[in-house]
Chain A
Amino acid sequence: MENAIEISDLVKTYGKARGVSGISLNVEKGDFYGFIGPNGAGKSTTIRSMLGLITPNTGSIKILGMETSKDKVNILKRIGYMPSESMFYPQMRVSEIIKMSADAYKMNCSKQAEALCDRLKVNTTKRIEELSLGNRKKISIVCAMQHTPDLYILDEPTSGLDPLMQKEFFSLLTEANRLGATVFFSSHVLSEIQSYCNNAAIIKEGKLIAVDSVSNLTKTNARKVTLRGIAKVPAIDGVKILTAEENQVSFMFRGNVKTLIAALNELNMNDVIIEEPSLEEIFLHFYEKEETK
């Protein structure tokens, strides 16, 4: 399978501040790929390097088989990019921005633009300065999608969008993905990565700490246990307390299930829930594991 994105040993520092240190990452064509990490972890630095907005110190980036450092314009022609800020020229009208973007690709995408504006409920007669972040995001989506690119690079695309729009946005992306486009998006909202992505990379402090399929990332022998009616956690090995309230405790358990059941048997509780942890909880777990090292 060909790769849509190939990043190897990407290093970018900003003076003393950390950017990214040694990122290697491959995204197959046709994949729906999530890039997870908290603010300041290096997500935007990686994405901005991919687009040639900043020049990495070392390392190479290949997008759709072309090197960013040599073939930037040809790469940009086939990319749909959504920056996290989604700022446009305040005095311009929405329709003018959409047209300016379409013209840059030398394409007449008025039909797609119209369909996108319709589905996202974009008012094209307004001026940019009148719009909220969420509404600017929607224009950003139209600009990224109207020329039907082969690869979507989206930097925190859902921030600022209301839940209904998020749903519409993901169905647009899923449709494009089904037609063969590759989607690469960054987020710190794990539930959306879990719902839509096949593969994901987790970045922390400029380094990738996990790269795997989402199903493997969520597959873990750890279990999340919630007990109602008691305030104390059973004293067994492999327990990590998540919350402890007056009438309810919940904790992560990693170890032999029989030990857990035996310990629970001793307790005087009303209810018990044992479940697979969400990606969110595993993600936090990744972070804490790193910190204790």
Chain B
Amino acid sequence: MIFKHELKANFKTFLIWTSIIAGMDFGFMLMFPSLQDSMDKAMSAYESMSAFSTAFGMDRLSMADPLGYYGVYIGAILSLGGALFAAIVGTGILSKEEGGHTSEFLYTLPYSRLNIVLQKVAAVFVILFAFNAVNLLLGLLSFPLIHAKLMLQEILLYHAAQFMMHLEIAAIGILLSAFTKKISIGIGLGIAMLLYFLDMMSRVLPQLKFGKYITPFYYANAADVMPTRGIDPLLLGIGIGLTLLCIVIGGLYYNKRDLAA
């Protein structure tokens, strides 16, 4: 079964990225009590750097508070790291067959091409779900360990938004992957970085305000999700729509196109 095969094939990458990012986040959370004092001072310094603090969401979340620290500091690692991981998995999933010359083996097995694509997409979904689940569990575990109040709703909503954002990045990667004959992980990573910076810039520069409709980092940003206890429904709707569109267009195109040897 291709689904199981893909889980196995991606397992190493999954293990490396998950352990590094979730491990880093968990470690930084445990360090919070010893950082709290300096965070207090830092926050007053950040307040004078208005654009900088807006870009990182520190105008609405305080790093001196455990939830704010989780949203801003931990959130930056999780959202960017997770997006890069999603880009790698998404862009590789289809194009690696042609890049590695295995397409003639895989696509002459008695499965329809659409079936294989769907199994591959399902594998990406499960891999990203597992990545986010590990991050969420360690996040939830870290609050009681540092004797902080667990704000369950905020954290669950934030992680749900992160998961959706990672799926969207992966879907863009799948679309790219469907159209290119060689592995284009570099382009996938580039797009993920670009969208990350677009989120920050759109918060600071009025000319780039439209950016929030484009980048999934916007609706998944802790500075919006946590204080409002909600995900912007319009932006989330656009995100889900774009994700499905990328997968459908990519899948249908790939289903028909000539495969390189």
List chain A positions with a Cβ less than 8 A from chain B. 14, 44, 48, 51-55, 72-74, 76-77, 79, 81, 83-91, 100-101, 103-105, 143
> B53 at interface (Cβ–Cβ under 8 A)?
no
In whole Å, how far is A187's beta carbon from the nearest beta carbon of chain B? 17
Question: Contact at A77–B110, with CB atoms within 8 Å?
Answer: yes
In whole Å, how far is A133's beta carbon from the nearest beta carbon of chain B? 12
Question: Contact at A87–B102, with CB atoms within 8 Å?
Answer: yes
Q: Which listed residue (A53, A55, A84, A89) contacts B108, Cβ 8 A?
A: A53
Question: Contact at B112–A55, with CB atoms within 8 Å?
Answer: no
> B209 at interface (Cβ–Cβ under 8 A)?
no
Interface residues in B92-125 (C-beta closer than 8 Å to A): 100-105, 107-113
Nearest CB to that of B103 among chain A residues? A53
Q: Which listed residue (A85, A91, A101) contacts B104, Cβ 8 A?
A: A85
Question: Contact at A85–B261, with CB atoms within 8 Å?
Answer: yes
Interface residues in B1-42 (C-beta closer than 8 Å to A): 1, 5, 9
The B contact surface, by secondary structure, is loop
Across-interface contacts of A85 in B (CB, < 8 A): 101, 104, 261
Q: Which listed residue (A54, A77, A100) contacts B5, Cβ 8 A?
A: A100
Question: Contact at A88–B107, with CB atoms within 8 Å?
Answer: no
Question: Contact at A73–B112, with CB atoms within 8 Å?
Answer: yes
7 residue pairs of the A-B complex, CB under 8 angstroms, read A44-B261, A72-B112, A73-B110, A101-B109, A104-B109, A104-B110, A104-B111
For the complex of A and B, the 4 pairs showing the least CB-CB separation, nearest first, are: A83-B104, A104-B109, A87-B101, A76-B110
Across-interface contacts of B102 in A (CB, < 8 A): 87-89
> B248 at interface (Cβ–Cβ under 8 A)?
no
Across-interface contacts of A81 in B (CB, < 8 A): 104, 108
Nearest CB to that of A101 among chain B residues? B109
Across-interface contacts of B107 in A (CB, < 8 A): 52-53
Q: How many angstroms from the CA of A116 to the CA of B89 in the assembled complex? A: 36
Question: Contact at A73–B104, with CB atoms within 8 Å?
Answer: no
Interface residues in B59-84 (C-beta closer than 8 Å to A): none
In whole Å, how far is A78's beta carbon from the nearest beta carbon of chain B? 9
> B259 at interface (Cβ–Cβ under 8 A)?
yes
Across-interface contacts of B112 in A (CB, < 8 A): 72-73
Across-interface contacts of B105 in A (CB, < 8 A): 83, 86-88, 101, 143
Q: How many angstroms from the CA of A48 to the CA of B104 in the assembled complex? A: 9
Q: How many angstroms from the CA of A52 to the CA of B109 in the assembled complex? A: 11
Q: Identify 9 new A-B residue pairs, CB closer than 8 A, beyond the known A53-B259, A81-B108, A83-B105.
A: A48-B259, A52-B113, A76-B108, A76-B109, A85-B101, A87-B100, A88-B105, A89-B9, A89-B100
Across-interface contacts of A77 in B (CB, < 8 A): 110
Question: Contact at A105–B261, with CB atoms within 8 Å?
Answer: no
Q: Which listed residue (A51, A73, A83) contacts B111, Cβ 8 A?
A: A73
Q: How many angstroms from the CA of A44 to the CA of B103 in the assembled complex? A: 14
In whole Å, how far is B259's beta carbon from the nearest beta carbon of chain A? 5
Q: How many angstroms from the CA of A178 to the CA of B189 in the assembled complex? A: 54
In whole Å, how far is B237's beta carbon from the nearest beta carbon of chain A? 36
Nearest CB to that of B104 among chain A residues? A83
Q: How many angstroms from the CA of A103 to the CA of B1 in the assembled complex? A: 7
Q: How many angstroms from the CA of A91 to the CA of B101 in the assembled complex? A: 14
Q: How many angstroms from the CA of A48 to the CA of B126 in the assembled complex? A: 33
Across-interface contacts of B101 in A (CB, < 8 A): 85, 87
Q: How many angstroms from the CA of A14 to the CA of B260 in the assembled complex? A: 11
In whole Å, how far is A48's beta carbon from the nearest beta carbon of chain B? 7
Nearest CB to that of B102 among chain A residues? A87
Q: How many angstroms from the CA of A53 to the CA of B256 in the assembled complex? A: 9
Across-interface contacts of B261 in A (CB, < 8 A): 44, 48, 83-85
Across-interface contacts of A14 in B (CB, < 8 A): 258
Which of A87, A91, A105 counts the most B-chain CB atoms under 10 A from its CB?
A87
**Given A53-B258, A54-B259, A91-B9, does the pair A83, B108 have CB atoms closer than 8 Å?**
yes
Nearest CB to that of A84 among chain B residues? B261
Q: How many angstroms from the CA of A51 to the CA of B104 in the assembled complex? A: 9
In whole Å, how far is B95's beta carbon from the nearest beta carbon of chain A? 14
Question: Contact at B104–A90, with CB atoms within 8 Å?
Answer: no
Question: Contact at A51–B108, with CB atoms within 8 Å?
Answer: yes
Q: How many angstroms from the CA of A48 to the CA of B257 in the assembled complex? A: 13
**Given A44-B261, A100-B5, A103-B1, does the pair A53, B104 have CB atoms closer than 8 Å?**
yes
Q: How many angstroms from the CA of A91 to the CA of B258 in the assembled complex? A: 26
Across-interface contacts of A52 in B (CB, < 8 A): 107, 113
Q: How many angstroms from the CA of A120 to the CA of B16 in the assembled complex? A: 38
Across-interface contacts of A53 in B (CB, < 8 A): 103-104, 107-108, 258-259
Across-interface contacts of B109 in A (CB, < 8 A): 76, 100-101, 104-105
Q: How many angstroms from the CA of A129 to the CA of B113 in the assembled complex? A: 26
In whole Å, how far is B112's beta carbon from the nearest beta carbon of chain A? 5
Across-interface contacts of A44 in B (CB, < 8 A): 261
Q: How many angstroms from the CA of A74 to the CA of B256 in the assembled complex? A: 18
